[in-house]
Amino acid sequence: MNAGGFVVLEAAVLNVVGGEERAFEQAMRTARPLIEMTPGFVSLDLHRCMETRSRYLLLVRWESLEDHTIGFRHSDRYEQWRELLHHFYEPFPLVEHYSETLFAND
């Protein structure tokens, strides 16, 4: 694990159906504890785009890739997460995982 406390950064650009931003943000508040309970979860940040107000950047830090892809996505909590959030996205987001490389040991 690096000095930042995580080894994997999950990133997703979430394009929310126009006019549904408040409902999405409330659903995210409801859904957040579901992901936080997952072993290996480190943190979650949600940022709203200033230029496109219905676009959000979701950043989730994990201790390992498997904590997300297996531990969370194969859990009952993920089913609840999906029910709360997935209907807001148009199109469905691409979710990618990143490891810190540049400046990691500086």
CATH number of the CATH domain containing 32: 3.30.70.100
Residue 98 located in a structural domain: no
Q: Residue 100 — very low, low, confident or very high, per pLDDT cuts 50/70/90?
A: confident
- How many domains does the chain contain in total? 1
Residues ≥6 apart with Cβ < 8 Å to 72: 35, 38, 41, 78, 81
Distance CA 64, CA 8 (A): 6
The answer to whether the CB of 39 falls within 8 A of the CB of 71 is yes
Show the domain range for 34: 8-90
At 3 the pLDDT is: 47
**Strands of the chain, DSSP E:** 8-15, 41-48, 55-62, 95-98
Residue ranges of alpha helices (H) inside 1-106 are 21-36, 65-66, 76-85
- Average of per-residue pLDDT values in the chain: 93
Residue 106 located in a structural domain: no
Check the CA dihedral 94-96-102-106 and report its sign. Answer: positive
Report pLDDT digits (tens) over 23-71: 999 999 999 999 999 999 999 999 999 999 999 999 999 999 999 999 9
Backbone angles phi, psi at 40, to 5 degrees: 95, -10
At 92 the pLDDT is: 96
Residue 96 located in a structural domain: no
Inform me whether the pLDDT recorded for 2 exceeds 60.
no
